[in-house]
Structure formats: C-alpha cells, structure tokens
A and B are shown apart, each in its own frame.
Chain A
Amino acid sequence: MKRKWRAGILAASIGLAGFLTGCSSDEAGKSDNNSKNEQVALDIFQFKVEFKDQFEAVAKAYEEENENVKINITTVGGGEDYGAALRSKFASGNEPAIYNIGGPQDVEDWKDKLADLSDSAAADAALDGTLDGVTVDGKVLGLPYNQEGYGFIYNKNLFEKAGIDPSTIVDFASLEAAVKELDSKKGELGLEAVFALPGKETWVTGLHLSNTFIAPEFDSNVLKAFESKNIEFQYGDAFQKVLDLQNDFSVQPTVSLDYSKQVEELFSLQKVAIIQQGNWVYGSIAGIDEEFASNGIGLLPIPVEGYKGDHIPVGIPMYWGVNSNADEAVVKEAKKFLDWLYTSDTGKETVLNDFKFIPAYNGYDSSKISDPLSKAVYEYAEKGKTIGWTFMGYPTGWGQDELGVEIQKYLSDEGSWEDVINATKKAWESSRQ
C-alpha cells in the first residue's frame, strides 16, 4: 500500500514538474532582465522574411555600438500569417517591443498598444504623405519601412525585337496596340502569350490591380478609403478593360495560375513579355537570370482610362510600431534604434545597399539604388507620377476574399462584370455598417 502511494506521488510530481518547467522559463527570462538594470532587451517581431539575415546583421552592429542594448529578432513571414502570429504573441503575454502594422485597420486595432513616435527624428525625415495612414489625433503611431511600387514589368529585349518603344506607352490605347503587336509576333519571339495573369493570387487582382482603379476615387488617400461607407467603382470600366486585356492575352487558365508560375516559370524564362508585379520580384528574377534581371526588365504604368495613363501605384507596405505597454526605458531605446536605422549614416547605407529598400525618408542618395525596378519606382515617385496605395484601407478581407474571389468567378465565366461590381459593392457596405 505504501509503495503504491509513493509511486503515485512520484508520477504526479513528475507530471506536474513537466508543466511547471514549461511555464517557468518565461519567468526566469524576465527576472534576468530586471537584475541587470542598465541592460535593455528589445524584442522585435517583424514580418519581412526577405531581409531577415541583413536585418539581424545590422542589429548585431547596433548592439556592438550600444552595449546596454540586446536585440532579439523574431521573423514571421507572409502578410496573413504575421497578423495571426502577432495576435497570439500578445495573447501569450510575451509582448514584443517593436512590431509591424499595416494600414489604418491595424492602427485602429492596435492603437492602445502603440506609442507616439512624433518626437523621433525618423518621423521628421519621413517623406510627405507617408505618415497619413498611421497618424491619429496628431500622434504618429508608426514609421514607414520603405516604399514599394508596382506596374507592368516588361521584357526590354522582346519589346526591342518587336519594334515597340516602351516610352510611347502612356495610355490604354497605346498599351493595347503594343500588346496586339506582341501577340502577332508570338511565334518569332518565342512567347507562350503576352501576359501571365495570376488569377489564383487574389492579392494581385483584388488588392494591387483594383487599387489602381479605386485609389483615384478616394484621392489616393488611404484614410478616405478606410472611412468610406461605400464604394462607387467610378473607374470600374477602365478596371475591366485592363483586366480583360491581361486575361485575353494571358497563358491559360488564368484562374489557377500562381505567383511562382507567373514570375519564375514564365517571365524569368522569357515565355511571356509583360507581368503585373512590383519591385519585389527583382530578387526572384535575379535568382534565375542575373543578367536579364539587371539589364532586361523595365516598369510600365498601369493606365487608368479617364484618369491618368502614366502613373504607377507607390505606397508603404508596412510600418514599425513601438509597444506602449513596454517599460519606458524600452520605448526610449526602441525609438533610438529606429532613428539610428533610418537617419544615421551607417543606417542609411544599410537601408540602401543591404536591405535594397526604396527609402521612404528624405536625405538619401537615390543614385545608389541598385536594381532597375526600384530605381524606376523611385523615379516615378520623384516626378510625382504616383497613385497612392489605398488597399490597406479596404474593409478587412474585402480585397482578397470578396473582390479577388469575384474576379476569379469572372475569369472562369461564372459571372459577369456587373456581378463583380454589385457583389463587392454590397460586401463593402455591409462590412462598413
């Protein structure tokens, strides 16, 4: 009897010990930080996988310069997953000091947990208009990562062979003419089709493409889109025309065509001449054909008939936010780190050369931007030939889950363009009630 008792207690205590060790590791970490008063730990929870290694290297350099700061970087990639991971991170009580927020909806959701950054040097240096989406009651709640832009990326060599001068493409008619010209010479150019429209990627159709035609309606202001109770599709016809043009001259079936097929398999191997993508594809193309990526590609505008034909959409994909729940010392160090990253000379150098960012701040030497797509985006931005990014002001999930899905139906002839417009209009209104 006694032995049974002992065994029982043993089993129970082993089991419980397991739980307790699981729970206790956090506690240990926290008390460790408190014991060394000067040491400040900056937990950074960020989403950009593409520059993870470079970012970690920069953090290390910063740690060496500032011995009292210890930076822990966690990277969770891919837009959707990041939001979920951030929520569970906060729910677990293990709150990061610096994290990423997207558009106005994120600001609305997180504003109780975002510190005011308007006194930072980086906020002063930020380009005009880049802080619009993250300013609430005069408080700046986020600092831009970088700028990104998209449009029609085209194959320069093929355009030359077909005898098309890309600088003449400034409106829908000239684009259409060029596409038809390319289509007629498909055989000699070795093309499968002119376009590759990835209907499977609802962010390409429902967010990026749609933004080009929806942004003018909201004066390119993301907050206007965010506050709007309804959507008119003022440039709906122009939208349909560009979508049809891409679909009619695309590799089929478009509805199951995905990003990697579009960018890597078809465009990088020069099986299609034009794709609708942004400066972020440079890395993928360079990974397949370095020479082609640096000399053979350029960026064309997406024409909006009745508005502007030669503008490209440029915006801020993500912002840095600082957790206002963190200790004062941590908030202070977090701001210092972000300032250093974007306004110090070492920081600027890294942002341009290692991160390969298109800077969203003043005081950068733009001639140092290395890849042709980023350079093109920066040039458009310099000339002011840009349309804003308003898709972050769409109702949550509307762009991909409603519009993107309706466009898939349209592409598979399951519904008319009217249906797309009506269904998504209704969805916008019902989520903004």
Chain B
Amino acid sequence: MRKRDLSYWLFLMPVLAALLLVVIAPLLLGIYYSFTDWNGIQTKGFIGFDNYIALFQDERFVDSLWFTVKFSIVSVILINLIGLSLALIVTAKLKTNKALRTIFFMPNLIGGLILGFIWQFIFTKAFAGFGSIVGIESLQGWLSTPGTGFWGLVILMSWQMSGYIMVIYIAYLEGISKELIEAAEIDGANALQRFRHVVFPLVAPAFTVSMFLTLSNTFKLYDQNLSLTGGGPYNSTQMVAMEIFNTAFGRYDMAYAQAKAVIFFLIVAVIALLQVYLSKKREVEM
C-alpha cells in the first residue's frame, strides 16, 4: 500500500482541479438544470420531473434513440467484420502489406465533418452519375429517403472506422504463435478450419475491445451525421446527439435538452461500465 502523504495530493491537484472544473461541475450543473425550465438565459424555477416525463412521450426523441440503436448494431457488426478481414489480408504474406496498412488506416485520419461532405458528394453525384451510365435505377436519389440515408451513414462509418479496428486485430493476430498454426497444418486442417478453430478463439479478446470502441463511437456520432444527412429527410436519420443539440440550440429548450442529455449519459455510462466489467472478467479467466 502506497503512503498517501501531502505530496501525493499536491501532484494530483492539477488533474483533480481540471476534472472538477470541466467534467464534474458541468455534469452536476447539467443535472440541476434538467429539473428546471431554463431557456439558456434565465430560469423560473424547479419543475421536478416534468422534463423527464415529457421526453419519454416525445416521439422524436424515442425515434432518434431507436435509429441510433439500429445504426449502432449494424455498424458494429459491419465494422468488425471488415476490420477483421482487412487485418487478415495485411497479415498474410503479401508484398504490399505495409502500403495496404497505411491505405486502410488513412480514412481514419480525415475529420468526420469533411468525410461527411465528401461522401455526400459521392452518394448524390457519383452514385447518380454511375447509375445513369450502367442503368441501375436504385443508385439515383441517395440520401433522399430514410433507407438510403441510413445505409449512407453505415457505409461512411464502416469506411472510416474499419481501418482503426484493423490495427487492433493486427496486434492480436501477430501475437498468435506460429507453432500453433503449423501444428494445425501438419494435422491436416485446411485454411478455413485453421481460422475457425485456432485463430478465431485466440483473437476473441480483441472483439471485446473493438466492440465497445465501435459501439461507443457510433452511439455518440454527431459530426458525420450532421454533414452527411443533417438528419434529413424529415428528421428520419437524426441520431440522439443531434436531436439533443437541435432541442437545445434550435428550439432553445435548454432544460429539456439537458434532461435528454442526462438520459443519453446514463445509456452511454451503462455501455462503458459493461465494457469495464467484461474486460476485467476476461482478464481473470486468462
């Protein structure tokens, strides 16, 4: 057990002060405001749980929450699938390994807002142009229906995050000792069997890490959503973060938006705690 004398606290103080000022204090203030009818300028006083009661009957909030959940599930699956496939490609003995790694990782270096605008151009212009040349009607009018808006977001997100997730899988794949694979090969296992029964169980821990990384990232998505679809058409692709922002800064319902943000915070907190719990549990097992 370390001795916690005064110097210990002195070293800790700058961080504690920063944490208190920029995280804890705003959080407490936010919770306080969510029980008032604050409009950003002044408040008339406490209104109890009214905001919370209203938000569960708010179709828009519930819709955006549901959309976010759907989006997250689909993206998490796709990103992990693509990320793992990319990792398998670049860990195979290919000459272009290094270059491929860089290329796959590159989308992750571009900011979300810019990516959104680039893909908006691709979906509305390039897709339409390509579609009219080869005569595929379904490539026209992307982002103008809820369905294409949804898949547009999923494609954008997968394209951006797969490279990042790939890096995590690479680390685990390269940690697998060659002897195991060779042994399986000698025993007559084919490539698919080797992957299914040797490689897959060994990279399983990477799933937990990647899963929660992608899950929390997709859940809190805002900038890509804003620049790609802007929530449209008719708010059908509006995710929770954006819905909260619009409530706060579009309708100036600050306190109500704050209540939504508290609920959102609770959901994200549960996901984060679950992640910590699961990865701790795994550590014990291994």
Interface size class of B (residues with CB under 8 A): 20 to 34
383-433 of chain A: CB within 8 A of chain B: 396-397, 400-401, 405-406, 408-409, 411-412, 414
- B144–A16 contact, CB under 8 A? no
A11-B10, A19-B17, A256-B124 known; A87+B41 contact, CB < 8 A: yes
Nearest residue in B to A109 (C-beta to C-beta)? B41
Interface residues of A in 366-398 (CB under 8 A from B): 396-397
Q: Contacting B249 at CB < 8 Å: which of A84, A109, A406, A412?
A: A84
Contact check: which of A5, A90, A396 meets B251 at CB < 8 Å?
A: A396
Using A11-B14, A12-B14 as known contacts, say yes or no to A400 and B250 having CB atoms under 8 A apart.
yes
B17 touching A4, Cβ below 8 Å: no
B249 engages A405 (CB within 8 Å): no
User: Do B6 and A8 touch (CB < 8 A)?
Assistant: yes
Which of B69-77, B160-168, B183-191, B231-239 is the contact stretch? Answer: B231-239
Task: Contact check, A83 vs B249: say whether CB atoms are below 8 A apart.
Answer: yes
Give the shortest distance, in Å, between B42 (CB) and chain A (any CB).
8
B18: chain A residues within 8 A (beta carbon): 15, 19
Distance in angstroms from A252 CB to nearest chain B CB is: 7
B67 within 8 A of A: no
Are A12 and B250 touching (Cβ within 8 A)? no
Q: Say whether B129 faces chain A, with CB atoms less than 8 Å apart.
A: no
- Chain A, residue nearest B39 (CB): A109
B13:A12 contact, CB within 8 angstroms: yes
Instruction: Determine whether the beta carbon of A408 is less than 8 Å from that of B246.
Output: no
Q: Is A110 an interface residue (CB 8 A)?
A: yes
The answer to whether the Cβ of A28 comes within 8 Å of any Cβ in the partner chain is: no
> Chain A interface mostly helix, strand, loop or mixed?
helix
B250–A255 contact, CB under 8 A? no
- Which chain B residue has the least Cβ–Cβ distance from A19? B17
User: Are A83 and B252 in touch, CB under 8 angstroms?
Assistant: yes
A288 contacts B by Cβ under 8 Å: no
A412 and B11 in contact, given A87-B41, A255-B233, A396-B251 (Cβ under 8 angstroms): no
Asked if A8 contacts B11 (CB within 8 A), the reply is: yes
Give CA–CA (A358, B192) in the complex, Å.
74
Judge if B40 is at the interface, Cβ distance under 8 Å. yes
Is B43 close to A, CB under 8 A? Answer: no
- Provide the bound-state CA to CA distance between A255 and B250, in Å: 20
> How does the 8 Å CB contact mask read for A31-75 relative to B, with 1 for contact and 0 for none?
000000000000000000000000000000000000000000000
Q: List chain B positions with a Cβ less than 8 A from chain A.
A: 6-8, 10-11, 13-15, 17-18, 21, 39-42, 124, 141, 143-145, 230, 232-235, 246, 248-252
Nearest first, the 9 closest Cβ-Cβ pairs linking A and B are A15-B14, A8-B10, A397-B251, A8-B7, A256-B144, A408-B234, A253-B144, A84-B249, A253-B141
